[in-house]
Amino acid sequence: MKEERILINQRIKRIFTSSLIIFFFVLILFSFITLRNLKRSVEIDNHFYSSTIDSIIQLNSEKLEILAEEYSKNEKIISFITMENDQKQLDNIFKSLILSQDVDFVAIYSNEKSVYINCENKILHSFLLTLNFQKNNDFVHSYELSESLLFPFEYYAYPILKKDSETQKRRIGTILLGRFINIERLLELERLTASKITFETDPKKTLKPFGITLTYSKPLKNSQNKIIGYIVAQKPSEAFKVTFINLSIFTIMFILLFIFLLYMSAYFVTDTVVTPLQKIEYAIQNNTPDVIERYVYQKDEIGELSRAIKHYLEQKEQINIYLKELESKNASLRMLNEEVRKLLEKDTLTGLLTRYVFNSQIERLYVSSKADKIPLSAISIDADNFKKINDTYGHAEGDEVLKKIGEIILKNIRLSDFPIRMGGEEILILLPEADINAAYSIAERIRNKVQEEFKSKPYTVTISLGVTQLKPEDTIETFLKRADDALYVSKTNGKNQTTIF
């Protein structure tokens, strides 16, 4: 029996070893040729892709240069610098430029200082005041990124020349045109290039492996020639796609070959292994230990398997008991995890959501509103004279007041809204897909319900509210600060009222 066992092992190993050697030899040869061709194809595609993306970005930048050069020759602008005319005339000139062209801000400098700035962003306005082009007679193209801004901005500064004679010109100032490289412009670039476009300070964090995607990183340099970030473009590689299809066809062919080789050995395996296993399976399913005993004493593979099965049957009951205990413990652990999650998400006193939910949702709501161009509003709420109630009637009564205010809020908002207790008596409601008018209506309804609820109490409970809506130029911080500022105005103007900013 021992000799037969060795013979079976040898025959099976011989068949499978031969099949695997042939299979892997052809696979390695084909893979080597394919990968070499793939590398060259991807390099060519990536070079062409990089050139295309760079040309599109450069074309967009040249629009600013052309406009700057054109407006540097405008007689009204030259007259403004030399004679310091009323800047309303310049406002009319640049108003149509900003509305109709790809320009976000304009600045004009004399040889000594800035004389005109048209920019709504205060942080950028301050930056423009610091620029000085006194010693520069050539145009300047630069990218800048402030720590207070989410996106970089690009500008062209072009010298303004005045004719002193037919042959002589002198520099009297500089005109600066610029724009933000924000989400809208990145999305437009994505549309033009059919690529994923992002701004990154470190492109290595987002770039996918070479070959799977075509990649290009354009460095953005500031006026000191330092890199402030990169415009990163990525697009699935067609060469990789074609290679993947070829490899799939190759794999299918070799699977068919492998199936054929398996079929050749099927008869042998069936005769020596499958039939005895079927008998053992029948004995196990029908609980017939006498059939198992037939094979336990054999000294081949079937005998080893029979002994292992016999041992398994003896241990089966103990294993089932252990599995039931483990399932019970897992169920308890799931219940505990769910309780912990509820404690993290819901304030136990008011029933409102917690800052944990605020921290996990605010950025998602902000990005979704910007990308999908849907409104996002916020209501900032604070209980009036709440400290006086705590001091006079005790903290227990104060907790009841907060609890009742929370119940009123939950009954008067939509299911899609996020009512969050930020701390103490401060409450913030985030309202996705609600404009400022809808938010104001909800705020007034809550304010009136709170005022009515506590009429029977020996003390007066009212709330002050501030309402605002996310604007295109807003960051998360400016959006929330405006809601707090509106609340502050409500407090200052006598409390128990709603202010819109």
pLDDT confidence of residue 80: 83
* CA dist list (Å): 56 to 53, 63, 370: 5, 11, 24
Topology of 355-500 in CATH? Alpha-Beta Plaits (3.30.70)
Closest CA to 104 of 158, 182, 174, 157: 182
pLDDT confidence of residue 399: 92
Question: For strand 213-221 and strand 498-500, is the pairing parallel, antiparallel, or unpaired?
Answer: unpaired
pLDDT confidence of residue 85: 63
Distance between start and end Cα atoms, the chain = 93
pLDDT confidence of residue 477: 95
Long-range contacts of 209-215 (CB under 8 A, 24+ apart): 210/42, 210/46, 211/38, 211/39, 211/42, 211/237, 211/239, 211/240, 212/236, 212/237, 212/240, 213/237, 213/240, 214/42, 214/45, 214/46, 214/49, 214/50, 215/46
pLDDT, tens digit, 9 for 90 and up, residues 430-473: 999 999 999 999 999 999 999 999 988 888 899 999 999 999 99
Return the amino acid letter for 168.
Answer: Q
pLDDT confidence of residue 94: 82
Ramachandran bin of 403, using left for φ above 0, alpha for ψ from -120 to 50, beta for the remaining angles: alpha
pTM listed for this prediction: 0.44
- Residue pair 464/471 in contact (Cβ under 8 Å)? The answer is no
Q: Domain-by-domain residue ranges, the chain? A: 287-342, 355-500
Indicate which residue of 407, 425, 426, 473 is catalytic: 425
pLDDT confidence of residue 4: 47
**Successive 10-residue mean pLDDT values, the chain, 501 residues:** 49 70 77 76 83 88 86 84 73 76 85 84 87 74 84 89 80 88 88 88 69 84 88 82 73 74 67 71 70 74 76 68 71 57 73 90 93 95 92 91 94 94 92 95 96 89 96 95 96 94 93
- Residue pair 467/378 in contact (Cβ under 8 Å)? The answer is yes
- Residue pair 265/12 in contact (Cβ under 8 Å)? The answer is yes
CA distance 427 to 406: 9
CA distance 6 to 8: 5
Q: What is the DSSP letter of 203?
A: G
- Residue pair 163/178 in contact (Cβ under 8 Å)? The answer is no
| DSSP track, 280-298 | HHHHHHTT-HHHHHHHHT-
Active site (annotated) includes residue 425: yes
Phi and psi at residue 484, in whole multiples of 5°? Answer: -65, -40
> Angle at CA 446, nearest 5°, toward 443 and 447?
85
